[in-house]
């Protein structure tokens, strides 16, 4: 089949607004906040890169009449780690499912300018989804659960063994390939789910509040694991969360949404001078990032109230 590419008005180079935040006994930190794409001027003569995926004025109305999303536009560049942050009911999960092809738009469109598109309008094999629950098959062991997406592609367990064992090693479960879900902790089950998502080597990993039900220690460990995987593989991640602290720790860009109907309130790139690890969690830079994101989230909640 010939190569089909979506069309989209590409996002122009970022025009940053610098907000200088003073802090005693440390170097000055700069958090960069970006205006919406429509407000950002193009740099003359600068080459434009094709985005991985672009939502263009997407509206979603459910059969009940509920407007989940209204005119939402979002451009995602290859290699980004983006968190969708907002209150319950703001359409974060709906947006993620639409990108994954698990839901239709009522109006607007989803474009994949740099991918080959199949008959369903999606890039072939380029997307993986990690749900809120691990969604493992309880009658299958870890190896067989991770093998599932390859099995659906017609790849046998024998042919896939090395690939599966490699991804299990990546998530620290190489010694648990024969274990069953009932024998695993909540964090281990989620690692299996992540391994299953990564085994097909996707370009885009969609994660819908995957750690929300876990205890704080396990959640922080899995945050570190996901960051490491992102750095090692160069995969693009869109991560849905309710947590200011999680979004500020994981992301290099946070899209704050407001509710009823869901749309983008603020688009905040985060630039850090420190390695994101246990020391970063207690740093002044992280505290300032959380404060900035928290203020934006409060603004989104207040703006939604004013719109009613």
Q: For residue range 236-270, what is the model confidence (pLDDT) as tens digits?
A: 999 999 999 999 999 999 999 998 899 999 999 99
Q: What's the pLDDT score for residue 116?
A: 81
Segment 141-169 mean pLDDT: 96
pLDDT band at 56 (very low <50, low <70, confident <90, very high): very high
CA 88 to chain centre: 17
**20, β-bridge pairs:** 30
Unique residue bearing structure tokens 């939402």 = 72
- Tell me the pLDDT tens digit for each residue of 91-150: 999 999 999 999 999 999 999 887 888 877 777 768 999 999 999 999 999 999 999 999
> What percentage of residues in the chain have a pLDDT greater than 90?
70
């Amino acid at each position: 089949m010939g190569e089909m590419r979506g069309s989209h008005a590409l996002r122009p180079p970022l025009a940053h607004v610098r907000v200088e935040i003073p802090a005693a006994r440390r170097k000055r930190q700069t958090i960069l906040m970006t205006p919406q794409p429509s407000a950002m001027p193009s740099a003359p003569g600068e080459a434009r890169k094709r985005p991985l995926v672009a939502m263009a004025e997407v509206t979603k109305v459910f059969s009940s009449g509920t407007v989940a999303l209204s005119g939402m536009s979002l451009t995602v560049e290859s290699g980004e780690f983006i968190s969708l942050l907002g209150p319950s009911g703001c359409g974060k999960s709906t947006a993620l499912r639409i990108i994954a092809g698990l839901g239709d738009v009522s109006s607007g469109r989803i474009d994949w300018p740099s991918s080959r598109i199949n008959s369903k309008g999606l890039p072939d094999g380029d997307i993986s989804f990690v749900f809120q629950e691990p969604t493992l098959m309880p009658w299958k062991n870890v190896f067989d659960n991770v093998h599932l997406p390859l099995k659906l592609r017609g790849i046998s367990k024998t042919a896939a063994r090395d690939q599966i064992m490699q991804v299990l090693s990546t998530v620290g479960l190489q010694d648990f390939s024969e274990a069953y879900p009932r024998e695993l902790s909540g964090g281990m089950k989620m690692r299996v789910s992540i391994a299953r998502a990564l085994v097909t080597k996707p370009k885009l990993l969609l994660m819908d509040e995957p750690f929300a039900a876990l205890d704080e220690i396990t959640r922080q460990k899995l945050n570190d694991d996901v960051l490491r995987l992102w750095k090692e593989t160069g995969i693009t991640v869109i991560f849905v969360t309710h947590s200011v602290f999680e979004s500020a720790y994981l992301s290099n860009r946070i899209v704050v949404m407001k509710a009823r109907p869901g749309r983008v309130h603020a688009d905040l790139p985060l630039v850090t001078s420190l390695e994101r690890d246990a020391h970063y969690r207690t740093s002044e830079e992280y505290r300032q990032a959380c404060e900035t994101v928290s203020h934006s989230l409060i603004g989104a909640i207040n703006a939604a109230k004013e719109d009613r």
